[in-house]
Each structure stands twice: as C-alpha cells, then as structure tokens.
Amino acid sequence: MLQFPLWKRILIIGLCLLGLALAAPNMFYKRVEQHNDAATALVKNGALTAEEQGWLAGWPSWMPSGIVNLGLDLRGGAHLLAEVHLSEVYKTRMESLWPELRNALAAERGTLGAIRRVPAPDGQLRIQIANADQLPKAIEVARTLAQPVVTLTGVGQTDLAVTGEGDTITVQLSEAERKSADERTMAQSLEIVRRRIDAAGTREPTIVRQGTDRILIEVPGIGSAEDLKALIGTTAKLTFNQVTGTATSDDQNPGAGKEVLPDAERKGLFYVLESMPVVTGDDLTDARPETDQNGRPAVGFRFNPAGARAFGDYTAAHIGEPFAIVLDGKVISAPTIQTHIAGGSGIITGNFTVQQSTDLALLLRAGALPAGMTFLEERTIGPELGADSIRAGMIASAVGFIAVVVFMVASYGLFGAFASIALFINIAFVLAFMSIIGATLTLPGIAGIVLTIGTAVDANVLIFERMREELRRGRTPARAFELGFDKAMSAIVDANVTHLMVGTILFVLGAGPVRGFAVTLIFGILASVFTAIWLVRMMIAQWFAYKRPKTVVV
C-alpha cells in the first residue's frame, strides 16, 4: 500500500493533468468555438476577416481546442421529420425502362404485331400487343431486360416482375428489387441530406433513419426549420465532363471553355475539363455496385432517354479517352471509355474495393434527391431555451457537487477531501473524453453527469467503511488502508460492471435523449473507477508517507 512506485505516480498525475488540459477549453466554450470556426474558415477560404483573426488570437494555438458539441436542446436549432416518397422511385424506373422495352418489343413486331403503351398505376408499365396469342413471346422478350438483384436477400432473383393477361403485359419491380431500391433510396437520401448540411459548416447534426421511409434531422445552431428545409432542398451538382489533360495546381489557366478541378481523393492532382458537361446528374436514374467481366468490383449506372442518347453519342466518338465524374466541384472518378455505351447504361471499372464501389455508387446517386420528401414535423428551438437549460444544468451540477463534497468531508474528514478532489478530476475526464471523440452533450447528458457526481464516490464510501472496520479490529493504519482497498475491490468491480452493462444497453438500443444520457453515464463510470481507486489510493499513500501518523481516524 505504502510502496507506490514512482512510474505509477507519474502516470496517474500525467493522466490527470492531461484530462484537465483537454477539459479546459469547455470553460471558455464561446471563445474556443469562435476560434475553431475561424480556423475552419481559414482552411476553406484561405483568408480571414479582422474579426476572425481576433478570434484566433484570443485562444493560444498550442492549447487544446476540442470542445463538447452542444445538442439541439442546449444550443437551439431546427428539428425536422421527413417522409421519403419511395413510390416515386418505382415510377421513375418504369419511365426510364419504357424506351428500352419498346425497342426490344419492336424488334419482334413481325411476331407480336403493333405495340402500344396503355395507362397503368404508378410503378407499373403496361404494353398492349396486337397478336394476343403471342403474349408468352412478349413476356419472354420483356424478361430479357431483367437484371439480377444485387443484395444478399435477393440472390437468384431479378429486378423485374413481368406478367400478362389477355393482350397486355405488365412490368413492375419485383418484391426483392423494391426492398433493394428502398434501401438504396434511403441511403442516398441520408447521404444527400448529410452532404448538404455538412457543406453549411454546422456542428454535429443528427441525421438518422427512422422506420422504413422516414429521416430524422436535427441541426443545432441553425436559424429556423425553414432555413434547414431550404438547405436540404439545395441540389448537389453532378456532371460528366470530357477530360483534356491534367494540371499541377488549380490556378493554372486552362483556356477558354475549360476549367481545372481537383481530384476528390488524391491531393495535388487536378484535371483540365471541358466546362460544358456531356450529361448532368439530372439525367442519371440509377447507380449501383456491380462486378465487371473479371469479377472485380465496379459501378453500374443508367441514364434516362435524353441522357442515354447524349452519352451514347459521346462514348462512340471518344473510345479510349478518359472522362470525369464531377460532384460538387471535385472529380470523384475519371475512368477511361472502353467501348461505345449505348442503351443508357454502362459500367465504371477501376481498382475498386467492394466498399469503394459501394461508396462511388452512392455518390453518383447523390447528385439530387432520388424522391420527394414531405416534412411531417417541423420545430425551431430558440437559443434562449438552450441557454436556460445549460444554466439550470450547471446549477444542478454545482449543487450536487457541493452537496457530495460537504457530505464526504463531514463523514470522512481528510479522506473525504481526497475523494472530493478525485470527483472533480472525474468530471474533467468526462468532459475530456467527450471533447476528444466529438460527442454531443444533450440535456439528458447533463443529467448523466449529475448522476455521475452522485455515484462516483460510492467506491470511496465502500473503501473508507472497510478501513473503519479494519481499524476497529485493531489493525495498524497501513494495514487497514491496504485491506480497505483490497477487500472492497470485488464489490466495486461488481457494481461498476453491472452499471456499465446497463449504460451500454441504453446506448445500443436507445436513441436521441436516451443515448445522450448513456454517453455521459458510460464515460462517468470509466472515469470513476480510475479516480476513486488509483487516484485516491495514491493521495492517501503520499499523505501517509509524509505524515507517518501513529493513529488514524477515518
């Protein structure tokens, strides 16, 4: 107990000082936030206003600048619950399929007779043929256009369900493809919303899927729900441009009708492109991960009829030349045209991994929202309410901390003071952990901190009470201290492990406020084990080594 190695003392003190340093910026939240925003502006724009320079000068660059992000209920902002119109995707797919199906059926006109499209519900395509007795032949032709469903649950199935009755065939997406399309549409919508909001520089937005067709969007620090809706409605700019060369920097003069754009992944690589795009993202109807003829990951895409014609004509005239896929002013891919791409669909090959092909397909689809959205809930939370919540949370935390300190000092004297110091370090560790990982502090999270203040000293209470018992049995102070820590350890581990399990379950299964509470609870548990056992033990050992008391009262 009394032999506390020097390396262990240095490690414990070093961790405590590091925790205090990382938590310190949160004591100057506004100044550090302005410093970080100004630094971000410097990176994006390369220049700062005089006011931004003042903010940078107001916080030393060598100091940690990570701060806990405040949630919507503390900082104010906007809350939206959007419903995605998944059925629009089915309708768009059928509209883009019609020209291809019409050409396929027209090639068999001698057998099928005249063909014409007849009205059908959204998401269906109905074609009437003149020779009703050749309906099986028409169904067979239509099924040749089907593609395999590229999902684990849709293995062995195709994306089209073709049926016939009388002289009419009906084409619609198969059930497996509908589920796959729903997943792609929701993933695409989430990605687009996230890209739009991230581009605005907001801090820690919450963008999560709810149910099968809804998206929850919470953005702290934005003015109103209307501002957020306008931000989400902004369409990403996706274009397909001809590549005429490469450049070493973006300030190179490319000449009239050309532009220089950077590669999205490789720094220092710039492409010289024709300013006029061959086709735009408005003409893209679908993109999905596939495999090429060698079984390597690739990305398949499909254009609408207008885009298919323009792209087909371009690829026929530029075989062997690269072309660029540009998203939001950056080249995300520059594949080489291998062959004439007719029919409105093609494949992008490259040295892709499976994850890269999936991400590229998602980016290609992220040019515009794949379907309309209806906002079912709109709420604007003013910053005044958040300021009141923060003030109330700080008062609750301060009252709780003072009450615990008074109780511990009154009950255990000097040892209670040691436990109170450890409690302060514990709170600093919680803020430091959250600052490092960029966690978001919510009002329930403050409740978790207050709960941590109340429970963090439980381990010390167990230890001190065990010490009292050993002293009453006639143990020497040194032996009583050692047995107090050793014999209380099993109870401390049991209590904290079960506590940690509950916090983990809340985090995994919960959402929103429940997760905010679980985050601070988990961090508080981990920090309290360190401070209540190792830090307090070191302080008692150092005090005992210095004082060498003959008798001790706990």
Question: What is residue 46's predicted lDDT score, i.e. its pLDDT?
Answer: 47
Helix, strand, coil: what percent of the chain each, to 5? 55, 20, 25
| Tokens representing residue 1 in the block | 């107990």
Asked whether the beta carbons of 119 and 153 are under 8 A apart, the reply is no
The dihedrals phi and psi of 116, each to the nearest 5 degrees, come to: -155, 150
C-alpha to C-alpha distance for 141 and 239, rounded to whole angstroms? 34
Q: Counting every residue, how long is the chain?
A: 554
Looking up tokens 């501002």 gives 227
C-alpha to C-alpha distance for 149 and 179, rounded to whole angstroms? 10
Question: What is residue 47's predicted lDDT score, i.e. its pLDDT?
Answer: 47
Question: What is residue 200's predicted lDDT score, i.e. its pLDDT?
Answer: 57
Q: Within a 13 Å sphere around the CA of 320, how many CA atoms are in the beta-carbon half?
A: 0
The dihedrals phi and psi of 27, each to the nearest 5 degrees, come to: -75, -15
Strand partners, 301: 287, 346
Looking up tokens 């605005």 gives 200
> DSSP state, 263?
B
Question: What is residue 405's predicted lDDT score, i.e. its pLDDT?
Answer: 92
| Tokens representing residue 456 in the block | 């963090």
C-alpha to C-alpha distance for 247 and 331, rounded to whole angstroms? 13
Tell me if residue 129 falls in helix, strand or coil: strand
Query: Which residue type is seen at 394?
Result: M
C-alpha to C-alpha distance for 427 and 401, rounded to whole angstroms? 10
Computed from CA positions of residues 184, 187, 193, 199, in that sequence, does the dihedral angle turn out positive or negative?
negative
C-alpha to C-alpha distance for 74 and 384, rounded to whole angstroms? 9
Q: At what angle do helices 414-437 and 513-529 cross, to 10 degrees?
A: 130
DSSP string over 11-48: HHHHHHHHHHHHHGGGGGHHHHHHHHHHHHHHHHHS--
Question: What is residue 150's predicted lDDT score, i.e. its pLDDT?
Answer: 63
Task: Please list, in sequence order, all residues whose beta carbon lies within 8 angstroms of the beta carbon of residue 395, skipping any fewer than 6 positions away.
Answer: none
| Tokens representing residue 343 in the block | 């029919």
> DSSP state, 160?
E
Task: Please list, in sequence order, all residues whose beta carbon lies within 8 angstroms of the beta carbon of residue 71, skipping any fewer than 6 positions away.
Answer: 204, 206, 218, 220, 440, 441, 442, 443, 445, 516
Tell me if residue 145 falls in helix, strand or coil: coil
What is the model's pTM? 0.57
| Tokens representing residue 349 in the block | 């090959």
Computed from CA positions of residues 312, 317, 322, 325, in that sequence, does the dihedral angle turn out positive or negative?
negative
Question: Exposure of 473 by Cβ count < 10 A (0-12 exposed, 13-18 middle, 19+ buried)?
Answer: exposed
The gap between the terminal CA atoms of the chain, to the nearest Å, is: 16
| Tokens representing residue 186 in the block | 């929701």
> DSSP state, 86?
T
Question: What is residue 418's predicted lDDT score, i.e. its pLDDT?
Answer: 92
pLDDT in tens, the chain (554 residues): 556 788 888 999 999 999 888 888 877 655 555 555 545 544 444 444 544 444 444 556 666 667 777 777 777 788 889 898 888 888 878 887 888 888 888 888 888 888 888 888 888 889 998 888 888 898 898 888 888 876 545 456 888 888 888 889 999 988 888 888 888 888 888 888 887 777 555 556 788 888 888 998 888 877 778 878 877 765 456 678 888 888 877 767 777 668 888 887 778 888 888 877 888 777 777 778 888 778 888 888 788 887 888 888 888 888 888 888 887 678 877 888 888 877 777 777 666 787 777 767 766 665 667 777 888 888 887 766 667 777 888 888 889 899 999 999 999 989 999 999 999 999 999 988 888 887 778 888 888 888 888 888 888 898 999 888 888 888 888 888 888 888 888 888 888 888 889 889 988 887 667 888 888 889 888 898 888 888 998 998 888 888 887 777 77
Q: Within a 13 Å sphere around the CA of 413, how many CA atoms are in the beta-carbon half?
A: 7
| Tokens representing residue 494 in the block | 């049991």
Asked whether the beta carbons of 167 and 128 are under 8 A apart, the reply is yes
**Helix or strand run (H / E) with residue 508:** helix 477-509
Asked whether the beta carbons of 180 and 319 are under 8 A apart, the reply is no
| Tokens representing residue 26 in the block | 């949160």
Looking up tokens 């009141």 gives 388
Q: Within a 13 Å sphere around the CA of 187, how many CA atoms are in the beta-carbon half?
A: 17
Distances 522 to 205, 260, 344, 474 between C-alpha atoms, Å: 22, 49, 53, 39
Distances 111 to 107, 116, 130, 163, 165 between C-alpha atoms, Å: 9, 15, 9, 19, 18
